């Protein structure tokens, strides 16, 4: 039986470990022993307590593994991925770190390592869609003109004032609200402030949501020759105005300020204050929505293709964000473990989507777990 090591046992990392434990010998690694005990009590998973900020601990954890899965917070992601690659272990990563993963491409190729990054829902599933459609349409001689992705994870119950709960790392969410958003307009990469260009959109079956620019295109900026691309995050209407007040008042700054003689980053203080308000209660239902639109350049000859996903917390209490992110990751992990995808180097999901048969296998894996991506022509 092949060995898989999952680094990080948070909400998504735990879902990944549980899903892969159906077929593989899985070890879950985290600094939180109690979290690991709960996971092992419910699934046939070995556990290992380790501080994954320590490269030596990462090397020890992945030694002898057939595949590692990176599910650590974003601020740890790049260093963790580099250590896994240095160890010569294939990896699928969902840490969504801010650094450029292609800085590790030469290392991964030299090590003969397949390193799939950003293997979540968006980035992740959205990249798979674009990679697949660009490849499919190119075979027909039809270039893609535009790509637009709308995505968000939200609680079912709207509560004042934020109307939001964070289904993953709170610091990572807050950084989405501060990191400049990169888009492609008329073939040129343009940078806009996060939260810019707000608009109201109708998303079935939810209704009216608010969309705004965030920096979600990531690798697509380098890998896809599509002249117009944008990703927007979805929230309930009104949320953006409160976040703008926080950001513009300095509460999301990363430069430390002195508080009672201690140096404190405002964003860390904000995360501490918001952690209770933005934490999903145990079993609290939430949902994930994604709408990805691909339009061909040959106007009038090709319909726009729209991929839609709506997923809710399941009956077992696994959140939709854990399901849509985690099960996309595990589907790609199965491709790598089976040798169906084995390109050496840094491989964003659009590479997987363009590989023959891989997109279909990922969608089938997701559908088997109740996560269904619908495709329609407009």
CATH number of the domain residue 136 falls in: 3.30.360.10
Q: Are residues 135 and 231 in the same domain?
A: yes
| pLDDT of the residue at 300 | 59
Judge residue 87's burial from the number of C-beta atoms within 10 Å of its C-beta, 0-12 exposed, 13-18 middle, 19 or more buried.
buried
The alpha-carbon radius of gyration of the chain (Å, integer) is 20
Predicted confidence at residue 228, as pLDDT, reads: 97
Residue 65 lies inside a defined structural domain of this protein:
yes
Predicted confidence at residue 50, as pLDDT, reads 97
* pTM confidence score: 0.93
- Determine the pLDDT at residue 168: 67
| CA 29/CA 70 separation, integer angstroms | 10
> 15, 35 in Cβ contact below 8 A?
no
Assign residue 30 the CATH number of its domain.
3.40.50.720
Let me know if residue 376 belongs to a domain. Answer: no
Tell whether 231 is covered by a domain.
yes
Question: In this structure, are residues 60 and 49 in contact, taking their beta carbons and an 8 Å threshold?
Answer: no
DSSP letters, 294-328, are EEESSTTTS--EEEEEEEE--TT---HHHHHHHHH
Q: Which of 343-347's residues contact partners 24+ apart within 8 Å by CB, and which partners?
A: 343/114, 344/108, 344/109, 344/112, 344/113, 344/114, 345/105, 345/108, 345/109, 345/113, 345/114, 345/115, 346/101, 346/102, 346/104, 346/105, 346/108, 346/115, 346/117, 347/114, 347/115, 347/116, 347/117
CB 47 within 8 A of CB 25: no
Helix (H) or strand (E) holding 185: strand 181-185
Residue 173 belongs to some domain of the structure? yes
Distance in angstroms (rounded) separating the CA atoms of residues 194 and 231? 11
The per-residue pLDDT string of the chain (378 residues; one tens digit each, 9 = 90 and over) reads: 999 999 999 999 999 999 999 999 999 999 999 999 999 999 999 999 999 999 999 999 999 999 999 999 988 999 999 999 999 999 999 999 989 999 999 999 999 999 999 999 999 999 999 999 999 999 999 999 999 999 999 999 999 999 999 866 787 788 889 999 999 999 999 999 999 999 999 999 999 999 999 999 999 999 999 999 999 999 999 999 999 999 999 999 999 999 999 999 999 999 999 988 998 888 889 999 999 999 987 655 667 999 999 999 998 889 999 999 999 999 999 999 999 999 999 999 999 999 999 999 999 999 999 999 999 998
Residues 204 and 304 in one domain: yes
Res 378: pLDDT: 82
Structural domain count of the chain:
2
Query: Same domain, yes or no, for 70 and 199?
Result: no
Q: Which two tokens stand for residue 114?
A: 């397949």
Tell me whether residue 333 is in a domain: yes
Q: Where are the alpha helices (DSSP H) in the chain?
A: 11-20, 33-42, 55-62, 74-86, 105-111, 125-139, 170-176, 220-223, 239-248, 266-277, 320-337, 349-354, 358-368
Question: Residue 156: what pLDDT?
Answer: 94
Range of the domain at 327: 3-119+320-370
Cα 268 from Cα 274, distance rounded (Å):
10
What is the three-state SS of 235-249? ECCCHHHHHHHHHHC
Classify the C-alpha dihedral 326-181-169-315 as positive or negative: negative
Residue 378 lies in a domain: no
Whether 377 is in a domain gets the answer: no
Model pLDDT, residue 171: 77
Whether residue 329 sits in one domain with residue 293:
no
DSSP for 23-38 reads TSEEEEEES-HHHHHH
If asked whether residues 160 and 306 sit together in one domain, one would say yes
Q: How far is CA 361 from CA 17, 21, 230, 255, 331, in A?
A: 20, 19, 26, 45, 8
CA–CA separation, 286 vs 284, rounded Å? 7
Residues 76, 144 within the same domain: no
């Amino acid at each position: 039986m092949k060995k898989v090591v999952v680094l990080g046992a948070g909400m998504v990392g735990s879902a990944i470990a549980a899903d892969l434990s159906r077929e593989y010998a899985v070890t879950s690694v985290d600094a939180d022993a109690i979290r690991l005990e709960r996971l092992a009590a419910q699934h046939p998973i070995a556990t290992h307590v380790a501080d994954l900020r320590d490269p030596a601990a990462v090397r020890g954890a992945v030694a002898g593994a057939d595949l590692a899965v990176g599910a650590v917070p974003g601020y740890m992601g790049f260093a963790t991925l580099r250590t896994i690659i240095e160890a010569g272990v294939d990896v699928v990563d969902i840490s969504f770190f801010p650094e450029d993963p292609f800085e590790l491409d030469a290392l991964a190729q030299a090590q003969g390592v397949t390193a799939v990054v950003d293997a979540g829902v968006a980035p992740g599933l959205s990249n798979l869609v674009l990679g697949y459609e660009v490849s499919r349409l190119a075979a027909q001689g039809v270039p893609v003109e535009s790509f637009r992705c709308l995505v968000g994870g939200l609680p079912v119950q709207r509560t004042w004032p934020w109307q939001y709960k964070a289904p993953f790392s709170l610091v990572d969410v807050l950084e989405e609200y501060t990191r400049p958003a990169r888009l492609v307009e008329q073939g040129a990469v343009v940078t806009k402030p996060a939260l810019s260009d707000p608009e109201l959109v109708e998303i079935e079956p939810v209704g009216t949501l608010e969309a705004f620019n965030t920096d979600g295109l990531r690798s697509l900026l380098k890998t896809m020759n599509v002249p117009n691309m944008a990703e927007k995050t979805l929230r309930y209407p009104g949320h953006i105005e409160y976040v703008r007040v926080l950001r513009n008042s300095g509460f999301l700054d990363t430069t430390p300020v002195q508080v009672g003689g201690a140096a404190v980053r405002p964003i860390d203080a904000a995360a501490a204050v918001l952690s209770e308000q933005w934490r999903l209660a145990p079993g609290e239902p939430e949902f994930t929505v994604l709408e990805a639109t691909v339009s061909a350049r040959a106007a009038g000859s090709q319909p726009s293709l729209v991929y839609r996903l709506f997923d809710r917390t399941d009956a077992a209490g696994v959140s939709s964000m854990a399901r849509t992110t985690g099960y996309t990751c595990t589907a790609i992990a199965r491709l790598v473990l089976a040798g169906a995808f084995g390109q050496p180097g840094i491989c964003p999901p659009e590479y997987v989507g363009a590989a023959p048969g891989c997109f279909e296998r990922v969608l089938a894996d997701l559908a088997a777990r109740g996560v269904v991506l619908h495709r329609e022509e407009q």
